[in-house]
Amino acid sequence: MPRQREGSPFTGLSTIALKEAADHMTSARIHLVLLLILLTAIGAVYAAIGQIKATVSEDQFLFLSLLTTARDPLPSFVAFLGFLLPLVSIALGFDGINGEYNRRTLSRVLAQPIYRDAFLTGKFLGGLLVIAICLLALWLLVTGMGILLLGLPPGGEEVIRGLAFLLASFVYAGVWLAVSLVFSTLFRSPATSALAALALWLIFTIFWSMLAPLIASAFVQIDPYDPVSQLNFIELQRGIARISPQTLYDEMTLGLLNPTTRAFGPVFTSQLKNALMGSPLPLSESLRLVWPQLAGMIAAVVLLFTVAYVSFQRQEIRA
């Protein structure tokens, strides 16, 4: 007869999560990755401040421009963050499960009154806690630099949009943390899981924008004299591109940090009726615009964590 569970399956969840977060915060590997992000963020923001001071036009959302303004040869702070956040998540999760196997500590932990549910969920929540702390500290640092060097405090709407951007970055990092956790349960070698996660990151970050038109052209034939076929091709291409978390994150940051953004796809003339071109959208409309992208990334996190959960539950653990 199989042994029945006693008590809650999430007994010890907080202990696992806090222990995992503490291990990450004291890890030299994470310190190096976060130092890289910190240096690039300071450089990007400093260059953006110089570019903003050089312009003479007034900007209603000056602090949002601080995040999105680029100055050659450095890209914007948002571009840096979108490129480097997956690296932090992969570094946090690529050896979360298989590392315990290799150190032969997994059977000892599960011999305690801790179920696999609490163990895997605690690993994931511990990584999310570290990401949340780092993102909040980075956002406060950027805001402080802006106040000191520009001499102006951010407005109320800018603060809310900045916090919404912070939430979008957190969910985006959560997607890649879930990806690394999936590979950590599927492969026993940490090196293999890290390479698999990095390969997927490179595909979605660099190559997917080039692959999307090729995939779309295999399903839709473009007629240069037929606007409907061209529109169908564009819509299919954008749908394929949105499989990538990078595309969803870019659209979210565009909608939140550029209030004049009204749509992400083709816009018809009828849709521009009674619209004031160049005027910013209200905050509620911008949030409604980016909600599908946020919901898609949250769904991806849930789906990936479910895959890791099912895979981990089916694995045999020996002492």
CB atoms inside a 10 Å sphere around CB 28: 7
The reply to whether 319 falls in a domain is: no
Distance CA 131, CA 171 (A): 10
Q: Is 17 exposed, middle or buried (0-12, 13-18, 19+ CB in 10 A)?
A: buried
The reply to whether 192 falls in a domain is: yes
The reply to whether 266 falls in a domain is: yes
The reply to whether 179 falls in a domain is: yes
pLDDT in tens, 36-89: 888 888 888 877 777 776 664 566 777 788 888 877 777 888 888 888 899 999
The reply to whether 6 falls in a domain is: no
The reply to whether 7 falls in a domain is: no
Q: Is the pLDDT of residue 274 over 70?
A: no
* pTM exceeds cut of 0.75: yes
pLDDT in tens, 115-125: 888 888 999 99
Q: Is the pLDDT of residue 110 over 90?
A: no
- How far does the chain reach from its first CA to its final CA, in angstroms? 21
The reply to whether 8 falls in a domain is: no
Residue 136 sits in which domain range?
13-314
Q: Which of 34-48, 90-104, 265-279, 288-302 has the highest mean pLDDT?
A: 288-302
**Across the chain, what does the average pLDDT equal?**
83
When divided into structural domains, the chain yields a total of 1
The reply to whether 55 falls in a domain is: yes
Q: What is the pLDDT of residue 4?
A: 56
